[in-house]
Amino acid sequence: MNKSDQMMPEQVLNLLSGENKENPFSIFAQIRKAGSVISIPNPFGQTDSKAWLVVHMDEAIQVLKQHAIYTVDPKTIENDKSFRDKMANDVDSSSPDTFFTGKSMLFADGVDHRRLRMLVSKAFTPRYMEGLRSRVQEIADELLDQVQSQGEMDIVKDYAYPLPINVISEMLGVPHEDREKLKVWSTAIANGLGLGKQDPTVGKHLQEFGEYTEMLVEEKRKNPSDDLISQLIAIEEQGERLEKSELISMITLLIFAGHETTSNLIATGTMMLFEHPEQLEMLKADLTLVPSAVEELLRFNGPSTIVGPRFAKEDTRLGGQQIKKGDLLLVMVKAANRDEKVFTDSEDLDIKRKIDRHLAFGHGLHVCLGSPLARIEGDIAFTTLLKRMPNLRLSIPKEKVEWQFSLSSQSLDSLPVAF
């Protein structure tokens, strides 16, 4: 491996921490050439265990699927510490848990994960999601009604963010007047976390988010209604199946994950179409291609750069590398989704591409619970946008669009358009 290859892992860590604003995909391509599993400096500063980037599809699926070998919960490994231990130090110990500091599905495996997932899985079945399609359509039309006569809008602020946050808030029973708070907390948490990076205000926002959710739960206890939070409270009150701390963690996770990734899909996907005008014209000419386009946009530049870190529970081999118990593995789904071994012309956007699989929603036990809803929202969002605004175009130079590299994602804070 030459000197430039050796610098690639450092550049990737800089990208994930938000310090490097380069095009990540050229770096990912160079990493893939170097191998499937690449040793990197541990982004959490630990010196007693190695860290690895997993960048090819086959090895990525192995890590995400083999739960007996790779865990999301480092506390199952003796004497292991993680980034969550550092985060917990910045949050008042008397504060309610959140998805990041408490016991949520993100950081549970085995029996605990199955139990927690089962409790909400009935509300996230494809059939139930399809039943929401008419309401998602109403919300999309209502949002575009507000800007149609203006001839311009900000895709992120006027459409990509409010569409999914209104959908998930209605599902959960979050009052309309509180949704602006959720935006503040979610943005601060997403933008303030990265590998090897933590904004000092993140702990405060997590604490406020948890305290708000605890208040919301207490209100629902007194005045239950036909929403998912009320259903989860009923389960908790039956005892043994859901603890109060798990309930708060679960709700904060559903609120955060229920809109953050879909918002990124809509905004980033729109930008990708602007950058590939021939694909945009093809899509406008045939809106039946939208479901296929959504899958390709997810593959090409999906919301997440990595999925939750995994930790080796035992010594093993992966991609020709010797992995030791306690080692950290970062599965870079954006890199794996452009694996040349799996996708022909993998660096090209092709909305007609036939895709058997991609990792934008993860894989295995921890595959995204809300993926059916995200697909419906993406389908409706792009179809409605292009049907009602066929002359949609970027209203600032492409070079002035500012990308935000944060947490495990690449996103847009603003995308001004005209139509």
Per cent of the chain over pLDDT 70 is 87
Q: How many residues does the chain have?
A: 419
What string of DSSP letters covers 151-164? TEEEHIIIIITHHH
Any idea which residue has 């988010």 for tokens? 209
User: What is the Cα gyration radius of the chain?
Assistant: 21
Instruction: Report the pLDDT value the prediction gives residue 47, as an integer from 0 to 100.
Output: 67
Give the pairing of strands 393-394 and 152-154. unpaired
Q: Are 403 and 191 spatial neighbours (Cβ–Cβ below 8 Å)?
A: no
Q: Span 9-37, mean pLDDT?
A: 78
Q: Are 303 and 264 spatial neighbours (Cβ–Cβ below 8 Å)?
A: yes
CATH code at position 253: 1.10.630.10
Instruction: Calculate the average pLDDT of the chain.
Output: 87
59-63, 128-132, 162-166, 292-296: least confidently modelled range: 128-132
CA distances (Å), 317 to each of 37, 160, 171, 325, in order? 10, 42, 43, 11
Q: Are 117 and 148 spatial neighbours (Cβ–Cβ below 8 Å)?
A: no
pLDDT confidence of 75, banded at 50, 70, 90? Answer: confident
Report the C-alpha gap between 22 and 8 in whole angstroms: 12
Report the C-alpha gap between 416 and 317 in whole angstroms: 48
10 Å CB burial of residue 9 (0-12, 13-18, 19+) is buried
CA nearest neighbour of 254 among 134, 116, 126, 358: 116
> Into how many domains does the chain fold?
1
- 366-416 pLDDT, tens digit per residue, is 999 999 999 999 999 999 999 999 999 999 999 999 887 765 677 898 999
What are the structure tokens assigned to 317, written together?
């081999």
Bridge partners (DSSP) of residue 170 are none
Strands (E) across 218-313 are located at 310-312
Q: Residue 229's domain spans which residues?
A: 3-418
- 146-188 pLDDT, tens digit per residue, is 999 999 999 999 999 999 999 999 999 999 999 989 888 888 7
